[in-house]
Amino acid sequence: WKKLYFAHHWPVTVCKMNANDCHDPPKYWTIHGLWPDRAEDCNRTWHFNVTEIKDLMSDMRHYWPDVLHSSLNRTQFWKHEWDKHGTCAATLEVLNSQKKYFGKALELYQHVDLNSCLLKAGIKPSSSYYKMTAIKEALSSFYGVTPKIQCLPPEEGEEAQTIGQIEFCFTKELQLINCTAPKGESNPMQAHLKLGTEELSVCSDTLPTYYPSEVQ
């Protein structure tokens, strides 16, 4: 693999996509995962062991919660992320254990500080719509790179897309880079996040964009 996607998702939108056990989602962007591109399930024998991240537990629950299942002692979401993505990321020395992988993701989360960046740009959950270009410009001017933004397309009768996920791309040296793939290079990570029947896809620049403050 060549780069890492560091995905944040907006819990209210995640709940909107799949109203199973979602109640009272956090009102801040949380971690979805740290994903090497072009690699999944690299070592099926390296099993997730929650005791390895016990020192990180309070931060994990706060910044990397399982939005869809709110019980605190559930670890399936983290297990899934480790099995699918962490075992691949572990080819890098700075990510080569469960504690390093999850700990580094928590560090990157604090470093990126997406929540305060959006607030500083005046972009906060609202019942009025945003222009996607304005959100992109705010992020690019703040970070100096282009992240990848994913939305829930409008449902029938809706005019607006709903922002759901923002991914930052990092080199293997953990430097921020643009997420846009060079022309002519396909992007296999385009596999859409699918929850229930709804799925996120890259946001349209032309549709009004809804940044919801609560699950409707």
In a domain, 71, yes or no: yes
For residue 107, the surrounding DSSP H or E stretch is helix 98-112
Output the average pLDDT for the chain.
90
Q: Which residue range(s) make up the domain with 48?
A: 4-211
- Region 70-98: mean pLDDT is 93
DSSP state of 133: H
- The angle at the Cα of 63, spanning 15 to 54, to the nearest 5 degrees, equals 120
The pLDDT, as a whole number, for residue 199 is 85
The residues near 8 (Cβ < 8 Å, ≥ 6 apart) are: 29, 30, 31, 32, 109, 112, 114, 165, 166, 167, 168
- Alpha-carbon radius of gyration of the chain: 17
In a domain, 216, yes or no: no
Tens digit of each residue's pLDDT (9 = 90 or more) over 150-185? 999 998 888 999 999 999 999 999 999 999 865 544
What percentage of the chain exceeds 90 in pLDDT? 78
Going by pLDDT thresholds of 50, 70 and 90, the confidence category of residue 189 is: very low
In a domain, 196, yes or no: yes
90/104 Cα distance (integer angstroms): 11
In a domain, 73, yes or no: yes
- Region 45-57: mean pLDDT is 97
The pLDDT, as a whole number, for residue 16 is 86
98, 86 contact by CB (below 8 A): yes
For the annotated catalytic residues, the residue numbers are 32, 81, 85
DSSP state of 69: B
Structure tokens at 121: 């740009």
SS3 content of the chain, % helix, strand, coil (to 5): 35, 20, 45
Q: CATH number for the domain including 170?
A: 3.90.730.10
The pLDDT, as a whole number, for residue 114 is 98
In a domain, 124, yes or no: yes
Place of tokens 């397309």: 153
Going by pLDDT thresholds of 50, 70 and 90, the confidence category of residue 38 is: confident
What's the domain count of the chain? 1
64/58 Cα distance (integer angstroms): 10
Backbone angles phi, psi at 19, to 5 degrees: -80, 55
161/152 Cα distance (integer angstroms): 6
Range in 99-103, 176-180, 194-198, 208-212 the model is least confident about: 194-198
Tens digit of each residue's pLDDT (9 = 90 or more) over 98-144? 999 999 999 999 999 999 999 999 999 999 999 999 999 999 999 99
The b/e string for 104-139 (b: 16+ C-beta within 10 A; e otherwise) is bbbebbeebebeebbeeeebeeeeeebebeebeebb
The answer on pLDDT for 71 being more than 80 is no
In a domain, 138, yes or no: yes
The pLDDT, as a whole number, for residue 46 is 97
Distance of CA 202 to the CA centre of its chain: 13
Distance of CA 128 to the CA centre of its chain: 23
